[in-house]
Amino acid sequence: MLIALCAPCYGAASQPTIADLMDSSKPTDWRSVDHNNALYMDVHGGQVIIELNPKFAPQSVANVKALAKEKYWDGLAIVRVQDNYVVQWADPNAESADKKKKLKEAKEHVPAELDHPSEKDIPFKSLPDKDMYTDKVGFSDGFAAGQDLKKKRTWLIHCYGTVGVGRDNAADSGNGTELYAVIGNALRPLDRNVTVIGRVVYGMELLSTMERGKGKMGFFEKPQKPIPIRSIRLASDVPEKERLNLEVLRTDTKLFDDLIEARRNRREEWFQYRSGHVDVCNVPVAVRIKP
């Protein structure tokens, strides 16, 4: 098998592997996903759960929550699946003034929230590893984030599973009605170009396995049909017994530091060569159902 877990691991006592470290996690190494900041998407025969991050994009997240409240996406669709790029959902009739779905409480216009001042309310655990796209990368409460030290700005990074606000050419032309998730290699060139609202924390494979759109840029064109969305709900509006109590591994702990070091220099016997570096998008932030 490709990645055999070590048996026995060398220096196991002093150099625990990723698996060893995960096994050692305590309840306090995890935090709950807030039901007021999670979306349940019923699509493709299953459930995708997105954790929203209102700190980085307060107005966009508020509008996305308003859209979920008014059941905006129910009956709309996945309109684009581009291999090694994004899955995107929207109103297939968005460009028809007559046919497009009307908004109720949600706003037509929301400002762009491409980055945020690096202030106290924005937690940031920086990685010692350098990054080629910006000054500093790290994690903000479990979300991969970047920083510009001179301009003192912080933003969420486009890794696998990142969810953002689709828009037209104007920076503020996205109101959250059209969202996308990254399903391939990290899309770092999109950082600071789009408002990021969160990341997929459950059911990612429902998005990543979707049939690719054969039109330009992966859009569905006839005879292909968009993939219908049954519903998107704020978790707090989902009946309690249908909710999952998800927990995300905390990224501000010694355990997380140790995990990153175990990933930077893989200790499993399988590895012949240790890269000595970790890329922010190569650090999966674990999610589990609360035991």
Query: Which residues of this protein are in contact with a copy of itself, per CB under 8 A?
Result: 1-4, 6, 80, 83-84, 86, 88, 112, 114, 129-133, 159-161, 166-169, 171, 178, 180, 184-189, 191-194, 204-205, 208-212, 217, 219, 263, 266, 269-273, 275, 277, 279, 281-282, 284
Of 108 and 168, CB closest to a copy of itself = 168
Instruction: Kindly state the smallest distance separating residue 76's Cβ from a copy of itself, in Å.
Output: 15
Of 243 and 266, CB closest to a copy of itself = 266
Residues 87-118: b if buried by 16+ CB within 10 A, e if exposed: bbbbbbeeeeeeeebeeeebeeebebbbbbeb
Instruction: Kindly state the smallest distance separating residue 130's Cβ from a copy of itself, in Å.
Output: 6
Of 39 and 159, CB closest to a copy of itself = 159
Of 36 and 275, CB closest to a copy of itself = 275
Instruction: Kindly state the smallest distance separating residue 84's Cβ from a copy of itself, in Å.
Output: 5
Of 4 and 13, CB closest to a copy of itself = 4
- Tokens 């491409």 label which residue? 114
Instruction: Kindly state the smallest distance separating residue 173's Cβ from a copy of itself, in Å.
Output: 10
Task: State the DSSP string of the chain.
Answer: --SPPPSSPTTTTTS--HHHHHHT--GGGEEEPPGGGEEEEEETTEEEEEEE-TTT-HHHHHHHHHHHHTTTTTT-EEEEE-TTSEEEEE-TTTT-TTTSPPPSSS-S-------EE--TTS--EE-SS--SSSSEEEEETTEEEEEETTTTEEEE---TTEEEE---SSTT---SSSEEEE-SS--GGGTTTS-EEEEEEE-HHHHHTSPPP-SGGGB--TTS-PEEEEEEEEGGGS-GGG---EEEE-SSSHHHHHHHHHHHT--STT-SS------GGG----EEE--
Instruction: Kindly state the smallest distance separating residue 126's Cβ from a copy of itself, in Å.
Output: 15
CA 280 to chain CA centroid, Å, is 13
Of 37 and 213, CB closest to a copy of itself = 213
Instruction: Kindly state the smallest distance separating residue 161's Cβ from a copy of itself, in Å.
Output: 8
Of 58 and 284, CB closest to a copy of itself = 284
CA 48, CA 189: separation in Å to the nearest integer?
A: 25
Instruction: Kindly state the smallest distance separating residue 83's Cβ from a copy of itself, in Å.
Output: 5
Of 238 and 285, CB closest to a copy of itself = 285
Instruction: Kindly state the smallest distance separating residue 132's Cβ from a copy of itself, in Å.
Output: 5
